């Protein structure tokens, strides 16, 4: 991931954000890894649901093992019977809503975590260390929080639908 | 065997009865059919004669010859005369000319209407044609209604998307220029689908379309493939599709975008040529406007071109179908390569979906539309279809989306639900 030139503490943060773990697959490799077609992954990518880990200097999008896991999760939904057209239709608004929320969350991080660190750390190295520590702590925490919240929402929606009678719903 | 046919005019009080709303429900239940929305509207029931339509690229000509043989010895008493009266046959042909399963029948009973005339035609073999008066039947009780429920597709969405991608690659490789790929949804319901109500809903929802029912295939075709009257042949070509906008301004923008979309314009031009070229080859004078016009339906809008041709001599509508079908609007370009790809990659049997559906009379005149926006309804089970034109640069997920919109429109009709948006203009 290319980043603009950053000052000391932000450069340390940028390296942490760059998430340097391995991204071994290009799109064809990813399709082979999970056992699906490149066409499907391209379409899912254009729908905003599959984002590359990073893009190489030559323009090749690279994907990590975590990306492969996410694709497998999507394929699970198709295997369970959800038509791709319906999944893509859910993906659009999800991506849009989540992208806006992600931007606001990063804004909150910058204002309420980074700014205080920069204002109180004795030097740049220490500030960098603190920012990376905060980031490493917050990202998995956010993931747990969002996953759990979504799970609760899904269960609540399912319960509400069953209480109303699953067949009381209008057809598509 | 002698076919006896009698056409009698209906009195004026019957002339105001709506063929679908008032007449259809009183018809005998066996082999009911409808073809309403063209210059001649027809509903009816029963099968006095079933004319075999085999497979092959000359099936229409052979069926026309068969019909001619039958009518050569028929006793026809027609007090009305003209288009759609006397002996008629209604039919629905398979999309694939090489497939079996086409249907062509001379109905025992048909009620017809064209401007200024309403009539009843009855037909029987080796017996006097029965008499029938409107209102003689009793409409059945309104059936219990349930919604249509999804029961899967012949080819899963993701496999269909991959097939579209492969078609785009084949087009890029120069194997063909265009192919229409279709997919289906199988449906089930707790209660049998209410065919008369479906016909009414289709006619109401798609007033610009031909509402049809032939042997369980029910739909509303926006595309009159062939209207034949003497030596005059008319055809409407639809290819190039955009969604309707949620507001009039959005709607106009979607139309303006469609009108300047090189991909859609090219697709449309190919479809027009696939109709004009065979007519020209028959020696006809062919007229087609340079600029497509707009056909706005309640869920999508299409680029439309109305083709008018004058043949050097009359030709039966059924025979002309051999020359025109499948057009690029439902097959592709070149036709043979597109058919091969449809057969090998679509993963389903289209049956009579996207095939010609319509009627012909003893003079060989008639009107045939393409069986699009349709469902094959069999009691409490149904199958709905939708297709999308794949050309160079097509994005598979957009084709998937287009077919989804079309499938959804049919599902809403089968659900007895109204339009998704306020009635469209234009």
Sort A11 into a burial class: Cβ within 10 Å, 0-12 / 13-18 / 19+: middle
The pLDDT tens digits for A72-122 are 999 999 999 999 999 998 888 888 899 899 999 999 999 999 999 999 999
Distance CA B100, CA B352 (A): 10
CB contact under 8 A, A171 and B147: yes
The pLDDT tens digits for B44-67 are 999 999 999 999 999 999 999 999
Band (pLDDT 50/70/90 cuts) for residue A20 is low
Band (pLDDT 50/70/90 cuts) for residue A171 is very low
Per-residue pLDDT averaged across B331-338, rounded? 95
User: Is the backbone peptide bond immediately before B226 cis, with ω within 30 degrees of 0?
Assistant: no
Distance CA B415, CA B299 (A): 16
Q: Locate the chain A residue with the closest alpha carbon to B397.
A: A43
Distance CA B295, CA B223 (A): 10
In this structure, the strands spanning B117-125 and B3-9 are: antiparallel
Distance CA B333, CA B391 (A): 10
Band (pLDDT 50/70/90 cuts) for residue A144 is very high
Per-residue pLDDT averaged across B301-322, rounded? 96
DSSP secondary-structure letter at A47?
A: T
ipTM above 0.90, yes or no: no
Place of tokens 């020359």: B323
What pLDDT is attached to residue B144?
63
Angstroms from B49 CA to nearest CA on chain A: 40
Return the CATH architecture of domain A8-163. Answer: Orthogonal Bundle (1.10)
Per-residue pLDDT averaged across B192-217, rounded? 92
Tell me how far apart the terminal alpha carbons of chain A are, to the nearest angstrom. Answer: 42
Sort B1 into a burial class: Cβ within 10 Å, 0-12 / 13-18 / 19+: exposed
What pLDDT is attached to residue B188?
94
Per-residue pLDDT averaged across B58-80, rounded? 96
B164-180 as b/e, with b when 16 or more CB fall inside 10 Å?
Answer: bbbbbebbeeeebbbbb
Residue B298 has pLDDT above 80, yes or no: no
Contact in structure between B184 and B418 (CB atoms under 8 Å): no
What pLDDT is attached to residue B135?
65
Distance CA B243, CA B261 (A): 14
What pLDDT is attached to residue A142?
93
Angstroms from A167 CA to nearest CA on chain B: 9
CB contact under 8 A, A85 and B401: yes
Band (pLDDT 50/70/90 cuts) for residue B420 is very low
What pLDDT is attached to residue B388?
92
Angstroms from A69 CA to nearest CA on chain B: 18
Q: Closest to A78 (Cβ–Cβ): which among B158, B404, B411?
A: B158
CB contact under 8 A, B395 and A46: yes
Angstroms from B11 CA to nearest CA on chain A: 43
Place of tokens 């079908």: B325
CB contact under 8 A, B152 and A81: yes
Contact in structure between B354 and B323 (CB atoms under 8 Å): no
Distance CA A142, CA A137 (A): 9
Distance CA B44, CA B37 (A): 15
What pLDDT is attached to residue B136?
53
Residue B293 has pLDDT above 70, yes or no: yes
- Residues of B annotated as catalytic are 178, 223
* pTM for the whole structure: 0.86
Length of chain A as a residue count: 172
Band (pLDDT 50/70/90 cuts) for residue B15 is low
Q: How far is CA A89 from CA A27, A49, B150, B154, B405, in A?
A: 22, 11, 17, 21, 11
Q: Which residues of B touch A39 (CB under 8 A)?
A: 161-162, 164-166, 396
Q: In sequence order, what are the residues at sequence separation of 6 or more whose Cβ sits closer than 8 angstroms to the Cβ of residue B8?
A: B79, B80, B119, B120
The pLDDT tens digits for B139-179 are 555 556 788 999 999 999 999 999 999 999 999 999 999 99
What pLDDT is attached to residue B423?
37
Chain B CB within 8 Å of residue A19 CB: no
Per-residue pLDDT averaged across B281-287, rounded? 96
Mean pLDDT, chain B, whole residue set: 91
Q: Which residues of A touch B148 (CB under 8 A)?
A: 171
Contact in structure between B238 and B306 (CB atoms under 8 Å): no
What pLDDT is attached to residue B424?
36
Q: What token pair was written down for B127?
A: 């017996």
Q: What token pair was written down for B295?
A: 């056909």
Q: Locate the chain B residue with the closest alpha carbon to A79.
A: B156
CB contact under 8 A, B408 and A81: no
What pLDDT is attached to residue A107?
94
The pLDDT tens digits for B367-411 are 999 999 999 999 999 999 999 999 998 999 999 998 998 898 889
């Amino acid at each position: 991931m290319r980043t603009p030139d950053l000052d000391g503490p932000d450069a340390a943060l940028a390296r942490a954000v760059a998430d340097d773990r391995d991204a071994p697959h290009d799109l064809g490799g990813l399709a082979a890894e999970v056992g699906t077609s490149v066409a499907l992954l391209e379409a899912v990518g254009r729908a905003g649901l599959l984002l590359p880990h990073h893009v190489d200097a030559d323009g090749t999008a690279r994907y990590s093992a975590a990306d492969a896991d996410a694709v497998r999760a999507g394929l699970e939904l198709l295997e369970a019977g959800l038509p791709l057209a319906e999944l893509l239709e859910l993906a659009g608004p999800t991506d849009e809503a989540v992208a806006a929320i992600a931007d606001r969350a990063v804004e909150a991080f910058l204002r309420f975590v980074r700014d205080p660190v920069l204002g109180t750390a004795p030097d740049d190295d220490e500030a960098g260390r603190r920012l990376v520590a905060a980031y490493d702590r917050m990202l998995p925490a956010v993931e747990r929080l969002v996953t759990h919240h979504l799970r609760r929402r899904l269960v609540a929606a399912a319960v509400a639908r069953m209480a109303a009678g699953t067949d009381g719903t209008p057809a598509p | 065997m002698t076919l006896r046919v009698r056409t009698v005019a209906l009195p004026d009080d019957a002339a105001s009865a709506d063929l679908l709303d008032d007449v259809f429900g009183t018809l005998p239940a066996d082999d009911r059919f409808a073809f309403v929305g063209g210059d001649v509207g027809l509903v009816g029931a029963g099968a006095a004669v079933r004319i075999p339509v085999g497979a092959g690229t000359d099936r229409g000509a052979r069926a026309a010859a068969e019909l001619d043989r039958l009518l050569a010895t028929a006793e026809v008493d027609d007090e009305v005369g003209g288009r759609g009266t006397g002996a008629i046959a209604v039919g629905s042909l398979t999309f694939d000319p090489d497939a079996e399963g086409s249907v062509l029948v001379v109905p025992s009973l048909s009620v017809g209407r064209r401007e200024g005339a309403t009539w009843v035609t009855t037909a029987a073999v080796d017996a006097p044609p029965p008499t029938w008066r409107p209102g003689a039947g009793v409409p059945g009780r309104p059936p219990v209604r349930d919604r249509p429920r999804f029961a899967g597709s012949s080819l899963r969405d993701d496999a269909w998307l991959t097939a579209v991608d492969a078609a785009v690659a084949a087009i890029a490789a120069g194997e063909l220029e265009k192919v229409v790929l279709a997919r289906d949804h199988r449906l089930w319901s707790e209660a049998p689908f209410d065919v008369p109500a479906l016909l009414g809903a289709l006619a109401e929802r798609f007033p610009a379309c031909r509402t049809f029912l032939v042997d369980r295939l029910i739909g509303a075709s926006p595309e009159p493939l062939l209207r034949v009257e003497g030596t005059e042949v008319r055809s409407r070509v639809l290819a190039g599709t955009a969604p309707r906008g949620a507001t009039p301004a959005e709607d106009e923008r979607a139309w303006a975008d469609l009108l300047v979309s090189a991909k859609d314009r090219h697709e449309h031009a190919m479809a027009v040529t696939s109709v004009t070229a065979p007519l020209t080859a028959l020696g006809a004078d062919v007229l087609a406007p340079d600029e497509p016009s707009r056909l706005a339906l309640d869920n999508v809008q299409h680029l439309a071109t109305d083709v008018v041709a004058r043949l050097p001599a009359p030709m039966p509508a059924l025979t002309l179908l051999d020359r025109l079908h499948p057009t690029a609007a439902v097959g592709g370009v070149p036709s043979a390569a597109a058919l091969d790809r449809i057969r090998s990659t679509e993963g389903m049997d289209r049956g009579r979906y996207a095939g010609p559906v319509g009627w012909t009379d003893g003079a060989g005149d008639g009107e045939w539309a393409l069986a699009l926006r349709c469902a094959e309804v069999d009691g409490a089970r149904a199958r709905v279809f939708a297709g999308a034109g794949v050309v160079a640069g097509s994005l598979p997920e957009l084709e998937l989306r287009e077919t989804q919109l079309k499938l959804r429109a049919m599902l809403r009709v089968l659900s007895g639900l109204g339009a998704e948006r306020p009635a469209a203009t234009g």
